[in-house]
Structure 1
Amino acid sequence: MKKAIKFSGIKFFILLSILFGSSEIYAQYGYGSGGYGYGGRGNNGYGRQRSSIPQAQETQKEPEPKTAEQLVDGEMPKITEALALNDFEQAVLSSVLKKYVQERIEARILKLPPEKMSEVFENITKRQDEELKAGLPLEKYEAFVALQKDGVSKTLKKNKKKKKDKRKKSKN
């Protein structure tokens, strides 16, 4: 009888070691299909899990409108390059533009009827032109007026063409 008890104790010990050993292997190598997380069969529990609860999407905030100072500061490098302004002329032009761009923004906020709005804008433009005439040399003022008509990119292209033509003439 003692033999049967010993034999049962060994069986118990072997069974216990197999259970502990298999849980170690299972924990170390994942689910056992491929090992090291390489699942050879479709969806084996790895990867991104989807939730059945719908997620609320955040409404995107409208970007805040730029201030007159931000608008003018963003355009001044291009204008300075196109008109070849010195520091004093750049400061005069910048301050005048900021002042009148701010007035235009305020006029838009009022949401006046179209005929009244155009009258207000004409008045603002007239005062801006008078102030720029007084603050800038005549050729720079005329260049600025042409810049407003043509746009910055066209004026820059014209300036580049003029420089190329001067180089060609000086070489010949």
Structure 2
Amino acid sequence: MKKIVKPSGFHFLAILLILFTSSEIFGQYGYGGYGYGRGGYGYGRQRSAIPQTQETPKKEEPKTAEQLVDGEMPSITEALSLNEFESAVLSSVLKKYVQERIEAQILKLPPEKMREVYENITKRQDEELKAGLPLEKYEAFVELQKNGVAKTIKENKKKKKKQKKTKT
């Protein structure tokens, strides 16, 4: 004999509860179908309830005289066509006097006094460079200071092109 089970109110409520909660879970967490995770890789974009704070950028420490000169020396060497010895002489002199300029800035002297100190440093630097470099290299360095490195390199390239054209 077959026993027929009549659905009661409890069975009806249990089925409705399962249907509603399963669709809620699928919708929220991306289970099944082509939800957030696609291919069963997860539950979608994970978010943290804790707000993210942006780190304040750390202050860069000022460069030392050695770092400043070492950063500029390759372009100065290229612009002036210096050999190893001339490059070493120029580098050591520049490091020495750049360090003095940095120390003068730290003192925060009044503008008139600062100008006087800078002029004194520049005079001593020029005298030392005249003694350590050949005259044409020294003059080229003075011209480089007036015009800038990029302009001097451009002019040197133009001169080389003109020389090549005149040779052929």
Which category of TM-score, normalised to the shorter sequence, fits these structures?
0.7 to 0.9
1:141-161 CA distances to partner (integer Å, 9 max, x unpaired)? 000000000000010011001
* 2:128 aligned to which of 128, 131, 155: 131
Q: What residue in structure 2 maps to residue 89 of structure 1? A: 86
Q: Does 1:78 align with 2:111?
A: no
- Compared CA separation, residues 35 and 111, structure 1 to 2 (3 A): same
Shift, 1:50, TM fit = 5.2
The 1-side partners of 2:127 and 2:88 are apart by: 17
TM-superposed CA distance for 1:121, in Å, is: 0.3
Structure 1 segment 121-160 matched on structure 2, within 5 A:
121-160=118-157
Contact 2:80–2:137 under 8 Å retained in 1: yes
Of 103, 108, 132, 2:105 maps to 108
Structure 1, unpaired ranges of 5+: 9-21
- Aligned partners of 1:39, 1:135: CA distance in 2, in Å? 71
Structure 2 residues without counterparts, runs of 5 or longer = 6-17
Any runs of at least 4 consecutive aligned residues in structure 1 with deviations exceeding 6 A, and if so which? Answer: none
Number of matched residues? 151
Alignment match of 2:33 (pick from 16, 32, 35): 35
* Deviation at residue 49 of structure 1 after TM alignment: 2.4
Alpha carbon RMSD of aligned pairs, Å? 3.4
